[in-house]
C-alpha cells in the first residue's frame, strides 16, 4: 500500500519532470487575419518549415504550437493570399499572440506576367529530368524519390546575349515521396533557376516533412538511412559547431587562401577563438568571412559522388567548400541564418533535397 509521503514524492517528481521537459520547448501562438479587413482567416496553414511541425488556424484565426528549443522559419499561408514567413526562436522575446496579416494576391498582375513570359509549353518533357537532377539530386536516395505532381511545374527558358537560363516555378506545393528516408515532403517552391553560363543551380523555398507510416522492419531501415545521411551533413556540422564539438565529431575546418591552382587550406587550430566564435546562453555567432573547406573524416564519401565528380575511388573524406559573405548565427537545433549568405559546393552541394532531414531530427 502506498503511503501519503510516497504519493507526495511521486507527484513532486512528475511535476519536476514536466517543468524540465517544458524548459526544452517554447510555445508559439498567433492569429491570422486579412490585412485589409482584419477579419480572421480560418484554416490558414502555419508550418515550421524544414520540420514536421505544423497546424491550422481555428474559426477565429488562432493557432498554437509547442516547439523544441531552436530556430525556425514559420510560414503562414492561405489560398488566394501572399505567404508570409517569420523567423522565430526560443531566444527571441515572443508576444503572447502574434498577429499575422496576409495580403490578398492581385491576380491581374499575375495574368500580365503570364502573357509576357517565355514559358516552354512542353517544359516537363524537355526539362523534367534535368530539373529533378538539380533539385532532388543524383544520389542513391534520389533514385527512391517520386515527384507526385509534376503537372504543377512551369518552365521558362531564356537565351540571349546577356542570359542563358532555365527558371522553374510551381502553381502549388510540390509533393515528393522520399522512400529512402520515409518522408513525404511538401515543398513550397518559390523559384528554381539554372545558369548555363556558370553551370550553377539555385532554388528557394521551404520543405515540410510528414513521417510515412510503414511496417516496423521498413521503419528500422529508414532510421539507419537517416543516420547515414545525417553524419557529415550540414545539419550535423552546424549542431556540432554550436555544441563546440566539431573536431570531436570528425570535422576539419580550413580557411582557404589564394585562388585557382594556388589555393591552399590553412587549418583553423582553434575553432572557438573569441574572434571567430561568440556564444551566449542560446545562440552562437560564427564570425567567418571568405572561403572555407570543411572535411569530414568519420564516414567515407558515397561512391556515386566520386563517380559523378571523377574523383579517385580511394578518396577518404567528404569535402565541402563554403563561401561566406559575413558570418552567420546558429540556433540550438542547427538552424542558422542568414542561410542565403552561406553558399556550399562540393559534397553538401551534391546532397540536395533527397538528403534533407528536418530540424527536429535526432540522431540515434
Q: What is the 3-state secondary structure (H, E, C) of 226-246?
A: HHHHHCCCHHHHHHHHHCCCC
DSSP 8-state class, residue 58:
-
- Cα distance between residue 298 and residue 228, in whole Å: 11
| Residue closest to 69 by CA, chosen among 117, 22, 15, 126 | 22
Region label for 132, one of left (φ > 0), alpha (ψ between -120 and 50) or beta (otherwise): alpha
| Residue closest to 341 by CA, chosen among 294, 287, 284, 273 | 287
Q: Hey, CA dihedral for 225, 231, 232, 238, is it positive or negative?
A: positive
- Cα distance between residue 221 and residue 212, in whole Å: 13
Per-residue pLDDT, 106? 80
Tens-of-pLDDT digits for all 364 residues of the chain?
445 544 443 433 334 334 344 568 999 999 999 999 999 999 999 999 999 999 999 999 999 999 999 999 999 999 999 999 999 999 876 668 999 999 998 865 554 444 446 899 999 999 999 999 999 999 999 999 999 999 999 999 999 888 899 999 999 999 999 999 999 999 999 889 999 998 888 888 899 999 998 899 999 999 999 999 999 999 999 999 999 999 999 999 999 998 888 899 999 999 999 999 999 878 999 999 999 999 999 999 999 999 999 999 999 999 999 999 999 999 999 999 998 889 999 999 999 999 999 999 999 7
Per-residue pLDDT, 109? 52
Q: What are the contacts of 342-345 at 24+ separation with CB within 8 A? A: 344/234, 344/320, 345/320, 345/321
Q: Hey, CA dihedral for 239, 241, 242, 248, is it positive or negative?
A: positive
Per-residue pLDDT, 16? 38
| Residue closest to 297 by CA, chosen among 224, 237, 345, 232 | 232
Three-state secondary-structure class, residue 124: helix
E strand intervals along 225-306: 251-257, 264-267, 277-279, 284-286, 290-296
- Cα distance between residue 318 and residue 144, in whole Å: 22
Q: What is the pTM of this model?
A: 0.87
Q: What are the contacts of 240-247 at 24+ separation with CB within 8 A? A: 241/271, 241/284, 241/286, 241/330, 242/284, 242/330, 242/331, 242/332, 242/334, 244/271, 244/272, 244/277, 244/279, 246/271, 247/271
- Cα distance between residue 141 and residue 132, in whole Å: 13
Q: Does residue 62 have a cis bond before it (omega within 30 degrees)? A: no
- Cα distance between residue 329 and residue 232, in whole Å: 20
Write down the H helix ranges in 92-204: 107-115, 123-135
How many other CB atoms are there within 10 angstroms of residue 354's CB atom? 23
Instruction: Name the phi and psi angles at 347, rounded to 5.
Output: -65, -45
Per-residue pLDDT, 117? 67
Amino acid at each position: 500500500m502506498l503511503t501519503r509521503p510516497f504519493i507526495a514524492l511521486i507527484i513532486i517528481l512528475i511535476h519536476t519532470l514536466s517543468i524540465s521537459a517544458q524548459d526544452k520547448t517554447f510555445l508559439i501562438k498567433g492569429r491570422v487575419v486579412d490585412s485589409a479587413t482584419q477579419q480572421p482567416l480560418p484554416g490558414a496553414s502555419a508550418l515550421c518549415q524544414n520540420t514536421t511541425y505544423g497546424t491550422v488556424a481555428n474559426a477565429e484565426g488562432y493557432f498554437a504550437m509547442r516547439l523544441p528549443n531552436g530556430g525556425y522559419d514559420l510560414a503562414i499561408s492561405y489560398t488566394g493570399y501572399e505567404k508570409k514567413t517569420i523567423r522565430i526562436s526560443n531566444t527571441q522575446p515572443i508576444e503572447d499572440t502574434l498577429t499575422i496579416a496576409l495580403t490578398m494576391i492581385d491576380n491581374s498582375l499575375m495574368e500580365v506576367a503570364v502573357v509576357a513570359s517565355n514559358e516552354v509549353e512542353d517544359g516537363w518533357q524537355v526539362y523534367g529530368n534535368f530539373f529533378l537532377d538539380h533539385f532532388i539530386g543524383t544520389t542513391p536516395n534520389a533514385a527512391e524519390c517520386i515527384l507526385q505532381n509534376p503537372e504543377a511545374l512551369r518552365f521558362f527558358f531564356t537565351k540571349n546575349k546577356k542570359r542563358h537560363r532555365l527558371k522553374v516555378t510551381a502553381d502549388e506545393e510540390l509533393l515528393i515521396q522520399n522512400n529512402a528516408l520515409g518522408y513525404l515532403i511538401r515543398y513550397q517552391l518559390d523559384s528554381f533557376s539554372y545558369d548555363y553560363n556558370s553551370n550553377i543551380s539555385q532554388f528557394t523555398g521551404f520543405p515540410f516533412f510528414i513521417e510515412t507510416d510503414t511496417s516496423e522492419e521498413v521503419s528500422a531501415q529508414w532510421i539507419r538511412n537517416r543516420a547515414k545521411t545525417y553524419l557529415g551533413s550540414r545539419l550535423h556540422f552546424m549542431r556540432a559547431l554550436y555544441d563546440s564539438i566539431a573536431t570531436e565529431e570528425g570535422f576539419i575546418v580550413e580557411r582557404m587562401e589564394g585562388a585557382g591552382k594556388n589555393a591552399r587550406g590553412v587549418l583553423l587550430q582553434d575553432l572557438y577563438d573569441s574572434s571567430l566564435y561568440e556564444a551566449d546562453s542560446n545562440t552562437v555567432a560564427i564570425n567567418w568571412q571568405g572561403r572555407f573547406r570543411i572535411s569530414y573524416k568519420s564516414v567515407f564519401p558515397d561512391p556515386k559522388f566520386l563517380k559523378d565528380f571523377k574523383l579517385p575511388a580511394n578518396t577518404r573524406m567528404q569535402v565541402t567548400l563554403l563561401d561566406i559573405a559575413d558570418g552567420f548565427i546558429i540556433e540550438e537545433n542547427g538552424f542558422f541564418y542568414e542561410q542565403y549568405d552561406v553558399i556550399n559546393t562540393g559534397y553538401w552541394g551534391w546532397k540536395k533535397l533527397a538528403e534533407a532531414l528536418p530540424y527536429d531530427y535526432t540522431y540515434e
